[in-house]
Structure 1
Amino acid sequence: MTKKVTPRLVMAILSAGMLSFLGILDETATTVTFPILTRDFAITTDQVQWVNTLVLLVIATIVPISSQIRLRIPTKKIFILGVSLFILGLLIDIVTPWFDLLLVGRALQGIGTGIGLPLMYNIILAEVPKEKLGFMMGIGTMITACAVAFGPVFGGTVTDALNWRWIFIISLFLIVISLLTGIYSIRQINPLQKVKIKYGQWLSLAVALVCLMLGFTRIAKYSFLSVPVLGFLVLGIISLLIWLKISWSDKEALISPQLFKNLRFSMQLIAYCFAKIATLALGFIFPIYVQAVNHGSVSLAGWITFPGAVINALMAALAGKLLDKKGARLPIIIGVIASLTSLILMNILAPLSSIAIVLLYVLYYGGYGMCFGSLMTSGLITLSKANHAQGNAIFNTLQQFSGALGTALAGTLIAIAQNNHVGNGTAIGSKWTFMVLLVLIIVNLVLALVFVPKKKSK
């Protein structure tokens, strides 16, 4: 049967995309409330970043098993399970009086999002005709980009008008609507199979990701050679090597490490991860920077990032159309150069005025919108169609882990600066982060020039 982009298919994509949309919306919305959360719960900067880092880390551990879940469980049931867990997390977030319980609620949101996140892209890859694939992948990217755009404004406005708990109350209303439209529109996208779940592979990979993150985030409080830092990092590396060993020869591996032998795929994946690290780090820094360094309000912290995030959403859609016509190289190169230029200026001009933040955010996010979705599409195209689902799982797993790493990077560097530089620690830690991100995006430019194909894939 000929594939067509029908209204019902669009509704299914949007319904599945609402999980990732609200996951990112709540993440970016709560970022502007971090100074308030640190006061309300009497916690530090490196602790409050776990409100978002934990969600991204949980998603990263859930996504790898998604490729097997979709083979055993009907598509609609996967969607309903993800939404149900997300709703439970929201209910906890709304009523909790304790920070630890807030993290439990956020973790449940992460599990729900991790179950539902790959679903949108799997629907696109399975149902959309190839000539529309770039555009629809751009739409998928734009869904999450819109959450980035509206999240800070939404969080700042709601917090100023009501309080931060209303972020989750409004999200609850939206996810219920998504549940109803998804039940109507989502159809089975693949034949079900009685596959054996690879619990050993999943557990070893999950332990690796968690331990690496725990080790990295504790650098702000402990020395590198201490057990809480080096111990967790070593345990993470050992777990990663165990995953590699038990997965390498398995032809039906949960995530096949054999895919990394494809150099174009691997290098574009690295560029994709570096872009995500930089983006989440900046998304963490600027709302805090506006309030702590420039002494702006919560609403201003939200609105100041809005223009750049809107440009990001528009550029994501434009990049999809450009990819369909010209191939991936052009939007990726343009995007990386724009983001690199912005980071160079951040390092030169820091400390930044609020106007400078607006303009540099527009330049950075415009470039990010051009290159991010295109890197994923270009990387997946280098794989055979049979490996698309696994490639999709790899991209989504490392996207979430990279996002968590970016948030943790910024939170850790700012916390270290605050501990050692009383009064201006936020500004100094931000400058350190800008320098690290500049190095990452320089590497991205090299990777894009060398490994993104020059000709459009047929």
Structure 2
Amino acid sequence: MNTAGVAPGPQGKDLGNIKKLPIMISLIIGAFFSILNETLLNIAFPDLVVELGVTPSTIQWLSTGYMLLVGVLVPASALLVQWFTTRQMFLGAMFLFSLGTLVCAVAPGFSVLLIGRLLQAAGTGLMLPVLMNTILVLYPPDKRGAAMGTIGLVIMFAPAIGPTLSGLILDSLDWRWLFYMVLPFAIFAFFFAFIYLKNVSDITKPKVDVFSIVLSTLGFGGIVFGFSSAGEGHGGWSSPQVYVSLIVGAISLIWFVLRQIGSKSPMLDLRAFKSPMFSLTTLLLIIVMMTLFSTLLLLPFLLQGALLLTAFTTGLIMLPGGVLNGLLSPLTGKLFDKFGPRALVIPGAALLIVIMYLFTQVSLATTTGMFIALHISMMIAISMIMMPAQTNGLNQLPRKYYPHGTAILNTLQQVSGAIGVAFFISIMSSGQRVFLENSSDPTAPQQQAEALLAGVQKSFTVGLVFAVAGLVLALFMKRTKAPEE
């Protein structure tokens, strides 16, 4: 009989008697507000540019810096969760997030606001792997789908309501209230966890490889920084800031991988990739994240830049799909437990191809209702793929690889997100430029709108290619069983 997740750990801890509900509530509250924070501020960027007296490329570092630090911290989390208890990790993460939220709320200028954002990012970067690892430890494989679905509800619902909630707040209040309103909930999450959260992890205190931490930071940080800088318009791909960062990141990452393979106690154990379904899941999630970003990034550009809708209206258009995606996550989790991954992932990947094709056909005459319907359909397809595939891949790992598997998936999702932003902005900009070069009156508003549409359609076409690749991978997916330990 398989007892993964409920058997006593190496330290003799009997997890079968631990009450799971208070632990899950603690984790979900903290995760919800930390993830909500990722999209809550973006819609306020135009106001911040004026109030703080900085350029748009500078203000973007409030988002890029956040993504950069999360991408750097997540790989180290595989080591940290073996040195510190679940309580210590989560409470430390919530303390950093709460402190960062307070700093942002009272920030007198851009520099202090950026410091606050980085503190928030540090909390988020430490919290997400703890969340995933705790579920793997608490729940046996045949119950993980429903648990991961509940987490999927939080992960997708929080960023979905972020822009809409932000628009409502900014309609009548100062941007600082975006942080003042989050702070009480963050503090509540800290004290709720302090009272109810129990430790479920195994503290093994492996050797700390400082050089691997440095290589990981330079590797993942350099790649995220390079792609983000290219996407933000710092001279494009020819900018030294971009290509030097990418070269340093690539060399450091290769060195990091080789060092982990040759180490007896690696910081990030890449032997997790010996599990074929975990490797397949990793590739599939990267492709799906790229496809998702092609839409979540391009749709606001099209709706606001070409159709001249407000940011708040754009947020409302994208709200139903995001909310439905979150609400479906627990259902797809339960269906995964009953029917396995293929019954969800393959139809989801096929639906995603259809939706991406329809997105390539949109025009300036496309109705708001059609955009809402396409976005809802796409988010349904994503919900059928993301959590079932991720749960299936992690289920194949031995328990000792849980921290490493969750860290690998979270890291690569952050990196693919950064790459997706830069990649699709570059494609969109290229399509715009080609259209305007052949235009008889490139300064005319109608021509500029048509140019933006042409760039977006070109990007959606590339997104369609990614979706096809995702379906090909999905066809090879099989239901996994946890290895005997």
Q: State the TM-score, normalized to the length of structure 1.
A: 0.90
Aligned twin of 2:457: 431
What whole-Å deviation, never above 9, does each CA across 1:273-319 have from its counterpart, x for those lacking one? Answer: 22223324433333444333322233212211111012211221121
Counterpart pick for 2:290 among 277, 298, 321: 277
Name the SS for the 2:41 alignment partner.
helix
Change (3 A) 1:93 1:312: same
Q: How does 1:5-154 map to 2 (within 5 A)?
A: 8-41=19-52, 47-154=58-165
Tell me what 1:177 maps to: 188
Q: Which moved more, 1:102-111 or 1:178-187?
A: 102-111
Instruction: Judge conservation of contact 2:431–2:455 (CA < 8 Å) in 1.
Output: yes
Residue aligned with 1:71, SS: coil
| Aligned counterparts of 2:433 and 2:52: Cα–Cα separation in 1 | 19
Alignment of 1:399-410 (within 5 A): 399-410=413-424
Equivalent runs, 1:245-394 vs 2, <5 Å: 245-351=258-364, 352-394=366-408
2:226 aligned partner: 215
Unaligned runs of 5+ in 2: 1-6, 8-13, 437-442
How far does residue 150 in structure 1 lie from its aligned partner after superposition? 1.8
Mapped to 1, the partners of 2:290 and 2:256 lie a distance apart of: 24
Give deviations 1:178-229, integer Å, cap 9, x for gaps: 1111111211112323322222112212211221223223433325344223
Structure 2 distance, partners of 1:155, 1:116, is 23
Residue 278 and residue 107 in structure 1: after superposition, are their counterparts in 2 closer, same or farther (change >3 A)?
farther
Q: Structure 1's 429 and 173: CA in aligned 2 closer, same or farther, altered over 3 A?
A: farther
Distance 1:43 1:356 in 2: 37
Amino acid in the other structure paired with 2:459: T
CA RMSD of aligned residues (A): 2.6
**Secondary structure of 1:107's aligned partner:** helix
Classify the secondary structure of the residue corresponding to 2:303. helix
Query: Do the aligned partners of residues 131 and 265 (structure 1) sit closer, same or farther apart at CA in structure 2, a change above 3 Å counting?
Result: closer
Task: Pick which of 33-42 and 78-87 moved more.
Answer: 33-42
**How big is each residue's C-alpha offset from its partner over 1:59-116, in whole Å with a ceiling of 9 and x where there is no partner?**
1211112122122222212112111111122122223343343332222111111111
3-state DSSP of counterpart to 2:82: helix
Aligned pair count?
455
Report the Cα distance in structure 1 between the residues aligned to 2:455 and 2:194, rounded to whole angstroms.
46
Determine which of 399, 403, 410 is the counterpart of 1:396: 410
**2:197 is the alignment partner of 1:186:** yes
Q: In structure 1, what is the Cα distance between the partners aligned to 2:455 and 2:57?
A: 12
Residue deviations 1:327-377, cap 9 Å, x none? 111111122222222111111114454323211110111111111011111
Larger mean CA deviation between 34-43 and 20-29 belongs to 34-43
The structure whose Rg is larger is: 2
Task: Label 1:165 to 1:406 Cα distance change in 2 as closer, same or farther (>3 A).
Answer: farther
Shift of the 432–15 alpha-carbon distance from structure 1 to 2, 3 Å rule, reads farther
